[in-house]
Amino acid sequence: MKASFKKHILQFKRPGGTSRGVLSEKETWFITLRDGQSVGIGECAMFRGLSVDDVPDYEEKLEWVCSEIDLGLEVLRQELLEYPSLQFGLEQAFRSLQAKNPFCLFPSDFTEGKAPITINGLIWMGDRKFMEEQLRDRLADGFTCLKLKIGAIDFETEIDILKSIRELYSAEEIEIRVDANGAFGKNDAFQKLEKLAALDIHSIEQPVKPGQTELMRDLCAEGILDIALDEELIGIFNETKKKELLHIIKPDYIILKPSLVGGFHGSREWITFAEEIGVKWWVTSALESNIGLNAIAQWTFSLHSPLPQGLGTGSLFTNNIDSPLEVSKGHLWYQKENSWSTNLI
Protein backbone atom coordinates (compact mmCIF):
# COMPACT_ATOMS: atom_id res chain seq x y z
CA MET A 1 0.00 0.00 0.00
CA LYS A 2 1.18 3.51 -0.80
CA ALA A 3 0.02 6.79 0.72
CA SER A 4 0.46 10.38 -0.35
CA PHE A 5 -1.00 13.77 0.55
CA LYS A 6 -1.50 17.22 -0.90
CA LYS A 7 -2.48 20.55 0.59
CA HIS A 8 -5.51 22.53 -0.57
CA ILE A 9 -6.42 26.10 0.40
CA LEU A 10 -10.18 26.66 0.49
CA GLN A 11 -11.18 30.23 -0.34
CA PHE A 12 -14.30 31.72 1.27
CA LYS A 13 -16.82 33.32 -1.09
CA ARG A 14 -17.28 35.93 1.60
CA PRO A 15 -15.23 36.19 4.82
CA GLY A 16 -16.92 34.44 7.72
CA GLY A 17 -17.00 36.18 11.08
CA THR A 18 -16.68 34.45 14.44
CA SER A 19 -15.82 35.76 17.89
CA ARG A 20 -12.29 34.48 17.22
CA GLY A 21 -11.89 36.63 14.12
CA VAL A 22 -12.77 36.74 10.43
CA LEU A 23 -11.93 33.79 8.18
CA SER A 24 -11.08 34.31 4.50
CA GLU A 25 -9.43 30.96 3.78
CA LYS A 26 -9.11 27.51 5.30
CA GLU A 27 -6.25 25.10 4.62
CA THR A 28 -6.78 21.37 4.48
CA TRP A 29 -4.94 18.24 3.35
CA PHE A 30 -6.12 15.28 1.26
CA ILE A 31 -4.56 11.90 1.95
CA THR A 32 -4.75 9.24 -0.77
CA LEU A 33 -4.18 5.51 -0.34
CA ARG A 34 -3.42 3.14 -3.24
CA ASP A 35 -3.43 -0.62 -2.99
CA GLY A 36 -3.32 -2.30 -6.40
CA GLN A 37 -6.27 -0.94 -8.37
CA SER A 38 -8.05 0.28 -5.23
CA VAL A 39 -7.90 3.94 -4.24
CA GLY A 40 -9.10 5.67 -1.08
CA ILE A 41 -9.21 9.32 -0.12
CA GLY A 42 -9.66 11.18 3.15
CA GLU A 43 -9.40 14.74 4.40
CA CYS A 44 -7.19 15.89 7.26
CA ALA A 45 -8.91 19.17 8.09
CA MET A 46 -6.78 20.75 10.77
CA PHE A 47 -8.31 24.06 11.90
CA ARG A 48 -5.77 26.81 12.64
CA GLY A 49 -6.26 28.37 16.05
CA LEU A 50 -8.83 25.80 17.13
CA SER A 51 -7.51 22.28 16.51
CA VAL A 52 -5.37 20.78 19.22
CA ASP A 53 -3.13 19.51 16.40
CA ASP A 54 -2.37 23.01 15.12
CA VAL A 55 1.34 22.42 15.66
CA PRO A 56 4.50 23.32 13.67
CA ASP A 57 5.27 19.69 12.76
CA TYR A 58 1.80 18.91 11.33
CA GLU A 59 2.98 18.20 7.78
CA GLU A 60 5.98 16.26 9.09
CA LYS A 61 3.56 14.06 11.01
CA LEU A 62 1.51 13.60 7.85
CA GLU A 63 4.67 12.57 5.98
CA TRP A 64 5.40 10.06 8.75
CA VAL A 65 1.87 8.67 8.47
CA CYS A 66 2.33 8.12 4.74
CA SER A 67 5.67 6.39 5.26
CA GLU A 68 4.22 4.10 7.94
CA ILE A 69 0.83 3.45 6.35
CA ASP A 70 1.34 -0.32 6.43
CA LEU A 71 1.00 -0.20 10.21
CA GLY A 72 -2.74 -0.07 9.58
CA LEU A 73 -5.52 2.12 10.90
CA GLU A 74 -5.75 0.80 14.48
CA VAL A 75 -2.03 1.15 15.22
CA LEU A 76 -1.82 4.56 13.55
CA ARG A 77 -4.87 5.79 15.45
CA GLN A 78 -3.15 5.05 18.76
CA GLU A 79 -0.01 6.81 17.57
CA LEU A 80 -2.05 9.84 16.55
CA LEU A 81 -4.20 10.45 19.64
CA GLU A 82 -3.07 14.07 19.79
CA TYR A 83 -3.71 14.57 16.06
CA PRO A 84 -7.50 14.21 15.76
CA SER A 85 -7.70 15.56 12.21
CA LEU A 86 -5.12 12.99 11.06
CA GLN A 87 -7.11 10.25 12.75
CA PHE A 88 -10.21 11.38 10.92
CA GLY A 89 -8.44 11.62 7.56
CA LEU A 90 -7.11 8.09 7.94
CA GLU A 91 -10.50 6.69 8.96
CA GLN A 92 -11.98 8.16 5.80
CA ALA A 93 -9.14 7.00 3.57
CA PHE A 94 -9.13 3.39 4.81
CA ARG A 95 -12.91 3.14 4.59
CA SER A 96 -12.82 4.73 1.13
CA LEU A 97 -10.15 2.25 0.04
CA GLN A 98 -12.35 -0.70 1.05
CA ALA A 99 -15.54 0.68 -0.53
CA LYS A 100 -16.90 -0.22 -3.97
CA ASN A 101 -17.16 3.52 -4.61
CA PRO A 102 -14.38 5.55 -2.93
CA PHE A 103 -16.86 8.34 -2.18
CA CYS A 104 -19.55 6.10 -0.72
CA LEU A 105 -18.26 5.30 2.75
CA PHE A 106 -21.59 4.47 4.43
CA PRO A 107 -24.13 3.25 1.84
CA SER A 108 -27.67 4.21 2.85
CA ASP A 109 -30.86 5.87 1.67
CA PHE A 110 -28.89 9.11 1.95
CA THR A 111 -26.24 8.05 -0.58
CA GLU A 112 -29.00 6.65 -2.79
CA GLY A 113 -30.61 10.09 -2.86
CA LYS A 114 -33.78 8.78 -1.23
CA ALA A 115 -33.55 10.60 2.13
CA PRO A 116 -31.92 13.89 3.21
CA ILE A 117 -30.38 15.13 6.45
CA THR A 118 -32.14 18.02 8.17
CA ILE A 119 -29.61 20.78 8.81
CA ASN A 120 -29.49 24.21 10.39
CA GLY A 121 -29.00 27.37 8.35
CA LEU A 122 -25.80 29.11 9.41
CA ILE A 123 -25.69 32.88 9.88
CA TRP A 124 -22.20 34.32 10.27
CA MET A 125 -21.26 37.26 12.44
CA GLY A 126 -21.00 40.66 10.81
CA ASP A 127 -22.67 44.02 10.89
CA ARG A 128 -26.43 44.16 11.29
CA LYS A 129 -27.10 44.59 7.57
CA PHE A 130 -25.02 41.51 6.68
CA MET A 131 -26.61 39.33 9.35
CA GLU A 132 -30.11 40.38 8.36
CA GLU A 133 -29.28 39.73 4.70
CA GLN A 134 -28.17 36.19 5.57
CA LEU A 135 -31.27 35.74 7.69
CA ARG A 136 -33.58 36.60 4.79
CA ASP A 137 -31.65 34.23 2.52
CA ARG A 138 -31.85 31.31 4.96
CA LEU A 139 -35.58 31.78 5.52
CA ALA A 140 -36.16 32.04 1.77
CA ASP A 141 -34.17 28.81 1.35
CA GLY A 142 -36.68 27.00 3.57
CA PHE A 143 -34.66 26.51 6.74
CA THR A 144 -36.70 25.94 9.90
CA CYS A 145 -33.63 25.78 12.17
CA LEU A 146 -31.22 28.70 12.24
CA LYS A 147 -27.84 28.93 13.91
CA LEU A 148 -26.52 32.44 14.56
CA LYS A 149 -22.93 33.16 15.43
CA ILE A 150 -22.98 35.80 18.17
CA GLY A 151 -20.42 37.58 20.32
CA ALA A 152 -18.49 39.67 17.80
CA ILE A 153 -20.72 42.74 17.59
CA ASP A 154 -22.74 44.62 20.20
CA PHE A 155 -24.85 42.14 22.16
CA GLU A 156 -27.91 44.38 22.20
CA THR A 157 -27.80 44.58 18.41
CA GLU A 158 -27.70 40.81 18.27
CA ILE A 159 -30.68 40.66 20.64
CA ASP A 160 -32.57 43.06 18.37
CA ILE A 161 -31.89 40.82 15.38
CA LEU A 162 -33.17 37.81 17.29
CA LYS A 163 -36.23 39.76 18.40
CA SER A 164 -36.99 40.59 14.78
CA ILE A 165 -37.08 36.88 13.99
CA ARG A 166 -39.36 36.12 16.92
CA GLU A 167 -41.74 38.90 15.93
CA LEU A 168 -42.33 37.02 12.68
CA TYR A 169 -41.87 33.39 13.68
CA SER A 170 -42.65 31.47 16.87
CA ALA A 171 -40.33 28.88 18.35
CA GLU A 172 -42.57 26.18 16.84
CA GLU A 173 -42.04 27.67 13.38
CA ILE A 174 -38.34 28.53 13.54
CA GLU A 175 -35.84 26.94 15.92
CA ILE A 176 -33.01 29.32 16.80
CA ARG A 177 -29.64 28.13 18.02
CA VAL A 178 -26.87 30.57 18.90
CA ASP A 179 -23.13 29.97 19.07
CA ALA A 180 -21.07 32.29 21.24
CA ASN A 181 -17.72 30.54 20.65
CA GLY A 182 -16.80 31.38 24.25
CA ALA A 183 -17.50 35.11 23.92
CA PHE A 184 -19.27 35.59 27.28
CA GLY A 185 -17.45 36.24 30.54
CA LYS A 186 -18.11 35.28 34.14
CA ASN A 187 -19.56 38.69 34.92
CA ASP A 188 -22.13 38.80 32.14
CA ALA A 189 -22.87 35.22 31.13
CA PHE A 190 -25.89 34.68 33.40
CA GLN A 191 -27.55 37.97 32.40
CA LYS A 192 -26.97 37.34 28.70
CA LEU A 193 -28.43 33.84 28.94
CA GLU A 194 -31.55 35.31 30.56
CA LYS A 195 -32.00 37.78 27.69
CA LEU A 196 -31.60 34.99 25.14
CA ALA A 197 -33.97 32.67 27.00
CA ALA A 198 -36.69 35.33 26.85
CA LEU A 199 -36.62 34.94 23.06
CA ASP A 200 -37.31 31.19 23.08
CA ILE A 201 -33.81 30.30 21.95
CA HIS A 202 -33.35 26.54 21.57
CA SER A 203 -29.79 26.42 22.91
CA ILE A 204 -26.46 28.17 23.06
CA GLU A 205 -23.13 26.63 22.09
CA GLN A 206 -20.12 27.29 24.28
CA PRO A 207 -21.22 30.50 26.05
CA VAL A 208 -17.86 30.84 27.83
CA LYS A 209 -14.34 29.84 26.88
CA PRO A 210 -13.43 26.17 27.45
CA GLY A 211 -11.53 25.15 30.55
CA GLN A 212 -13.77 27.03 33.00
CA THR A 213 -15.38 23.85 34.25
CA GLU A 214 -16.97 25.24 37.41
CA LEU A 215 -18.45 28.26 35.61
CA MET A 216 -19.85 26.07 32.84
CA ARG A 217 -21.24 23.67 35.45
CA ASP A 218 -22.97 26.54 37.24
CA LEU A 219 -24.43 27.90 34.00
CA CYS A 220 -25.85 24.48 33.13
CA ALA A 221 -27.16 23.91 36.66
CA GLU A 222 -28.98 27.26 36.63
CA GLY A 223 -31.12 25.99 33.77
CA ILE A 224 -31.69 29.42 32.24
CA LEU A 225 -31.08 28.17 28.70
CA ASP A 226 -30.05 24.81 27.28
CA ILE A 227 -26.28 24.72 26.83
CA ALA A 228 -24.24 22.73 24.32
CA LEU A 229 -20.54 22.00 24.74
CA ASP A 230 -18.42 22.44 21.63
CA GLU A 231 -14.83 23.66 22.04
CA GLU A 232 -14.98 22.18 25.56
CA LEU A 233 -14.54 18.71 24.02
CA ILE A 234 -11.39 19.54 22.06
CA GLY A 235 -8.14 18.08 23.34
CA ILE A 236 -9.67 15.50 25.68
CA PHE A 237 -8.53 12.04 24.58
CA ASN A 238 -8.77 9.96 27.74
CA GLU A 239 -12.04 8.05 28.23
CA THR A 240 -12.08 8.69 31.98
CA LYS A 241 -11.59 12.42 31.48
CA LYS A 242 -14.38 12.52 28.91
CA LYS A 243 -16.76 10.90 31.37
CA GLU A 244 -15.62 13.19 34.20
CA LEU A 245 -16.21 16.32 32.14
CA LEU A 246 -19.74 15.29 31.23
CA HIS A 247 -20.58 14.23 34.79
CA ILE A 248 -19.26 17.48 36.27
CA ILE A 249 -20.79 19.94 33.80
CA LYS A 250 -23.96 18.00 32.93
CA PRO A 251 -24.66 19.90 29.69
CA ASP A 252 -27.91 19.58 27.79
CA TYR A 253 -26.11 18.83 24.52
CA ILE A 254 -22.68 18.14 23.11
CA ILE A 255 -21.65 19.04 19.57
CA LEU A 256 -19.40 16.67 17.70
CA LYS A 257 -16.91 17.83 15.10
CA PRO A 258 -15.09 14.69 13.94
CA SER A 259 -12.08 16.63 12.62
CA LEU A 260 -11.54 18.10 16.09
CA VAL A 261 -12.38 15.20 18.41
CA GLY A 262 -10.74 12.21 16.75
CA GLY A 263 -12.95 11.23 13.84
CA PHE A 264 -15.73 8.67 13.95
CA HIS A 265 -14.05 6.73 16.75
CA GLY A 266 -13.57 9.73 19.04
CA SER A 267 -17.07 11.03 18.29
CA ARG A 268 -18.59 7.63 19.03
CA GLU A 269 -16.94 7.62 22.45
CA TRP A 270 -18.41 11.02 23.28
CA ILE A 271 -21.86 9.91 22.09
CA THR A 272 -21.73 6.73 24.18
CA PHE A 273 -20.73 8.57 27.36
CA ALA A 274 -23.26 11.36 26.75
CA GLU A 275 -26.17 9.00 26.17
CA GLU A 276 -25.33 7.11 29.37
CA ILE A 277 -26.29 10.22 31.37
CA GLY A 278 -29.06 11.53 29.13
CA VAL A 279 -27.08 14.22 27.29
CA LYS A 280 -28.23 14.77 23.72
CA TRP A 281 -25.98 15.59 20.77
CA TRP A 282 -25.70 16.63 17.16
CA VAL A 283 -22.89 16.64 14.59
CA THR A 284 -21.32 19.68 12.98
CA SER A 285 -18.78 20.05 10.22
CA ALA A 286 -15.71 22.21 10.85
CA LEU A 287 -15.18 23.91 7.48
CA GLU A 288 -13.98 20.80 5.70
CA SER A 289 -14.08 20.57 1.92
CA ASN A 290 -16.79 18.38 0.40
CA ILE A 291 -14.51 15.36 0.89
CA GLY A 292 -14.66 15.60 4.67
CA LEU A 293 -18.22 16.92 4.70
CA ASN A 294 -19.35 13.95 2.64
CA ALA A 295 -17.81 11.51 5.10
CA ILE A 296 -19.32 13.32 8.09
CA ALA A 297 -22.75 13.50 6.48
CA GLN A 298 -22.84 9.82 5.51
CA TRP A 299 -21.72 8.77 8.98
CA THR A 300 -24.20 11.13 10.65
CA PHE A 301 -27.11 9.74 8.64
CA SER A 302 -26.19 6.25 9.87
CA LEU A 303 -26.72 7.42 13.48
CA HIS A 304 -30.41 8.30 12.92
CA SER A 305 -30.39 11.45 15.04
CA PRO A 306 -33.76 13.27 15.06
CA LEU A 307 -32.14 16.69 15.51
CA PRO A 308 -31.07 19.14 12.79
CA GLN A 309 -27.36 18.73 12.14
CA GLY A 310 -24.72 21.39 11.39
CA LEU A 311 -23.69 20.23 7.93
CA GLY A 312 -24.44 23.13 5.62
CA THR A 313 -20.93 24.53 5.10
CA GLY A 314 -20.14 23.06 1.69
CA SER A 315 -21.30 26.11 -0.25
CA LEU A 316 -19.04 28.56 1.59
CA PHE A 317 -16.02 28.19 -0.71
CA THR A 318 -15.22 29.30 -4.25
CA ASN A 319 -12.92 26.34 -4.90
CA ASN A 320 -14.58 23.43 -3.14
CA ILE A 321 -14.54 19.95 -4.63
CA ASP A 322 -17.38 19.28 -7.06
CA SER A 323 -19.65 16.71 -5.42
CA PRO A 324 -23.20 15.33 -5.28
CA LEU A 325 -23.86 17.18 -2.00
CA GLU A 326 -26.60 19.78 -2.34
CA VAL A 327 -28.51 21.92 0.15
CA SER A 328 -32.21 22.36 -0.60
CA LYS A 329 -35.07 23.62 1.58
CA GLY A 330 -33.20 23.17 4.86
CA HIS A 331 -31.87 19.71 4.01
CA LEU A 332 -28.62 18.21 2.78
CA TRP A 333 -29.13 15.83 -0.14
CA TYR A 334 -26.81 13.46 -1.97
CA GLN A 335 -27.73 13.88 -5.62
CA LYS A 336 -26.42 10.68 -7.22
CA GLU A 337 -26.64 12.07 -10.73
CA ASN A 338 -24.01 14.71 -9.90
CA SER A 339 -20.39 13.63 -10.12
CA TRP A 340 -17.28 14.08 -8.04
CA SER A 341 -14.18 15.87 -9.31
CA THR A 342 -12.20 13.17 -11.08
CA ASN A 343 -8.78 14.77 -10.65
CA LEU A 344 -8.65 14.03 -6.94
CA ILE A 345 -7.71 10.36 -7.12
Residue 285 or residue 14, greater confidence: 285
Helix, strand, coil shares of the chain as percentages rounded to 5?
A: 40, 25, 40
Are residues 85 and 260 in contact, defined by beta-carbon separation less than 8 angstroms? yes
The predicted-structure confidence for 205-237, as pLDDT tens digits, reads as follows: 999 999 999 999 999 999 999 999 999 999 999
Q: How many helices (H) and strands (E) does the chain have?
A: 11, 13
Query: CA-CA distance, 195 to 190, in Å (whole number)?
Result: 9
Q: Which domain holds residue 69?
A: 2-98
Q: Is residue 109 part of a domain?
A: no
Q: What angle do CA 322, 324, 328 make, to 5 degrees?
A: 110
User: For residue 86, what is the domain's CATH number?
Assistant: 3.30.390.10
Q: Is residue 261 part of a domain?
A: yes
Q: Which of these, 19, 302, 339, lies nearest to 149 by C-alpha position?
A: 19
- Which pLDDT belongs to residue 45? 97
- Which pLDDT belongs to residue 18? 61
Query: CA-CA distance, 227 to 177, in Å (whole number)?
Result: 10
User: For residue 204, what is the domain's CATH number?
Assistant: 3.20.20.120
Residue 312: band (very low, low, confident or very high) from pLDDT cuts 50, 70, 90: confident
Q: Which residues contact 203 (CB under 8 A, 6 or more apart)?
A: 177, 178, 225, 226, 227, 228, 252, 253
Q: Is residue 340 part of a domain?
A: no
Stretch 199-209: mean pLDDT: 97
Stretch 96-107: mean pLDDT: 97
Length of the chain: 345
The predicted-structure confidence for 116-138, as pLDDT tens digits, reads as follows: 999 999 988 778 888 889 889 99
Q: Are residues 82 and 128 in the same domain?
A: no
- Which pLDDT belongs to residue 19? 54
Q: How many other C-beta atoms lie within 10 A of the C-beta of residue 113?
A: 15
Q: Which residues contact 161 (CB under 8 A, 6 or more apart)?
A: 128, 131, 132, 135, 148
Q: Are residues 58 and 170 in the same domain?
A: no
With b for 16 or more beta-carbon neighbours within 10 A and e for fewer, the 225-256 pattern comes to bbbbbbbbbbbbeeeeebbebbeebebbbbbb
- Residue 46: is its pLDDT beyond 80? yes
Q: Is residue 137 part of a domain?
A: yes
Are residues 201 and 225 in contact, defined by beta-carbon separation less than 8 angstroms? yes
Bridge partners of residue 205, in order along the sequence = 179, 228
- Which pLDDT belongs to residue 207? 97
Residue 99: band (very low, low, confident or very high) from pLDDT cuts 50, 70, 90: very high
Residues labelled as active-site residues? 149, 257
With b for 16 or more beta-carbon neighbours within 10 A and e for fewer, the 58-88 pattern comes to beebbeebeeebeeebeebbebbeebbbbbb
Q: Is residue 257 part of a domain?
A: yes
Q: Are residues 266 and 225 in the same domain?
A: yes
Q: Is residue 108 part of a domain?
A: no
Q: Are residues 135 and 9 in the same domain?
A: no
Global pTM value: 0.95
Lowest mean pLDDT among 33-42, 278-287, 332-341: 332-341
Q: Are residues 51 and 15 in the same domain?
A: yes
Stretch 250-269: mean pLDDT: 98
Number of domains, the chain: 2
- Which pLDDT belongs to residue 36? 95
- Residue 109: is its pLDDT beyond 60? yes
Q: Which of these, 232, 293, 305, lies nearest to 268 by C-alpha position?
A: 305
Q: Are residues 122 and 78 in the same domain?
A: no
Burial of 36 (0-12, 13-18, 19+ CB in 10 A): exposed
Q: Which of these, 311, 312, 274, 315, lies nearest to 296 by C-alpha position?
A: 311
Bridge partners of residue 39, in order along the sequence = 34
Q: What is the DSSP string of 186-213?
A: TTTHHHHHHHHHTTT--EEE-SB-TT-H
The predicted-structure confidence for 134-191, as pLDDT tens digits, reads as follows: 889 999 999 999 999 888 778 999 999 999 999 989 999 999 999 999 999 999 999 9
Q: Is residue 250 part of a domain?
A: yes
Q: Is residue 107 part of a domain?
A: no
